Structure 1
């Protein structure tokens, strides 16, 4: 994780039946499973120090763009770590006694701290996050389908996002997945995507969408906790990209009005919402000049890079 804190992750369903939506073979409706995934992503984001930048939940796979916040995990007190972990896990008796101040020996104390330290390491571990997400959904789906066996295609796939250009490209790619697949006509009607959640939050005059990493402006070069773009710029980037033609992929109709007009948001309201939001909540993708340092950080001799600088 030393190369970059940003990653694009994908998990695909291994079975013939659909993860979500309507299976065209059996005509069985699995639409409710989308909400399972969204709610589990949201709940895990409250436990782990892993921020959700973008997501899209499709019929047989889902995408995540995440930010691994290792510094946040190591800044937590031991009590904070336990409080987070118990939100989604049952605490062992030893830790329950540690919380209650009932330990009777140094050996018990050392064992408790060792357990808490292991949880702290897991709080910023992407593999643990994805494992818990996929395991929970697989168990739910297997119970519903009354079957056993693998639900996901082995391990999740991930791409390291080496710079801000890569982060923006991955987020836009994820947010436009439903439109490119032809199951949505506009970004704001793309169900179970982060762009829809962000736009709904904006319409409701909320600071940011629930459990999504906020956008910030780093004009003052301050080290702030958030995505290093302005929300306005990102939404316009999504809208522009959606209009571009790609062979065998759907695109936004060129006659469609700009996204702010489609959402019926005045420029005054838009500017006020964006400035207040930013003031209050202050293999790899990237540019070629980051490649060598990424190889060293990831301990790889070769990285297949999707270049963003030509």
Structure 2
């Protein structure tokens, strides 16, 4: 029986989560209907545009994504500090970009935050709930999927379910799990034969990162990064900004090298530079290839070192850590 989402997503354990949503319709999310030959490729742009717009409203960042024929992957970072820094007025403004709100919330905006004490006492509970929802992965996925389902149903002139009822999520408990999952997500099109190289795989985060890195001729690491994606900030150091603790150049090198293995079927053949990066993450070279080609099936709801897995499951009162044996093998 599936666990309730609140028992899988806990920002105290990790802010990073790998989410997968699958389409249940025969006509596919974005592919070509083999029965009619009709193409639905334009839906990739629908989904990508919406996916990159929502973080401007939510306190969530996108670390990686890829949009496939009948499903999509996204790695989300929960930014609680950002959500808590917003004023009550900003929370209401952001919520109204998603929904029409209530009579009292509309009055609150019209009067620029001025309500009577009794009204404010009642409305404060609503604002606190909206603040929580604006950093909630389930609400993010719900709003994203509902918008795409409505557009697809209108185009298909039909009603009914478009997505599976429950999206899959995996908690990424440490840097090694995060980077392995990001590489798996970014290399999905290469592995499935849709693209030849990572930088030519349309509607993926790796292509956006590559395009920006090549377009900006500036040695400054931060200026060469795609603004719609969670940035790489380099190796751990004092006073570093918020982001993924790895150099962008190292990550691109690692993904490129791994992509060549997956594409050419030369398992175990990896560049010396990439091997150094993998060793620094605490991952065996052969295990790396296995993870980046089959990440979803390798792990259950939690991914990380044995120690981090035990801590996370202890915080959530799990009697037995799921996937413990696999995590022991994959991470050392």
Same fold by TM-score, threshold 0.5 exceeded? yes
Q: Which residue number in structure 2 is paired with residue 73 of structure 1?
A: 83
Q: Which has the higher helix share?
A: 2
* Contact 2:32 2:41 (8 Å CA) reproduced: yes
- The count of corresponding residues between Structure 1 and Structure 2 is 279
Q: Answer yes or no: is 1:304 the counterpart of 2:323.
A: yes
SS at match of 1:243: helix
Candidates 230, 233, 248, aligned match of 1:216 = 233
SS at match of 2:77: strand
Distance verdict in 2 for CA 1:24–1:242, change over 3 Å: same
SS at match of 2:261: coil
Distance verdict in 2 for CA 1:211–1:177, change over 3 Å: same
TM-score if structure 2 supplies the norm length? 0.79
Distance in 1 (CA, whole Å) between partners of 2:86 and 2:261 is: 44
- Give runs of aligned pairs for residues 1-310 of structure 1, distance below 5 A: 1=10, 2-99=12-109, 100-101=111-112, 105-205=116-216, 207-222=224-239, 224-245=241-262, 250-251=263-264, 283-302=301-320, 303-305=322-324, 306-307=326-327, 308-309=330-331
Q: Which residue number in structure 1 is paired with residue 281 of structure 2?
A: none
* Contact 2:236 2:245 (8 Å CA) reproduced: no
| Structure 1 residue 115: Cα displacement | 1.7
Encode CA deviations 1:88-133: one digit per residue, 9 max, x unaligned: 3323331232231485532211222222111100011111111111
TM-score if structure 1 supplies the norm length? 0.84
Distance verdict in 2 for CA 1:251–1:178, change over 3 Å: farther
* Contact 2:303 2:309 (8 Å CA) reproduced: no
| Structure 1 residue 300: Cα displacement | 2.3
Encode CA deviations 1:191-238: one digit per residue, 9 max, x unaligned: 100000011111221542241111102432436311111100100110
Structure 2 stretches lacking a partner, 5+ long: 1-9, 217-222, 272-300
* Greater relative contact order (Cα < 8 A, sep 6+): 1
Q: Which residue number in structure 2 is paired with residue 275 of structure 1?
A: none
RMSD: 2.0
Distance in 2 (CA, whole Å) between partners of 1:167 and 1:222 is: 22
SS at match of 1:236: helix
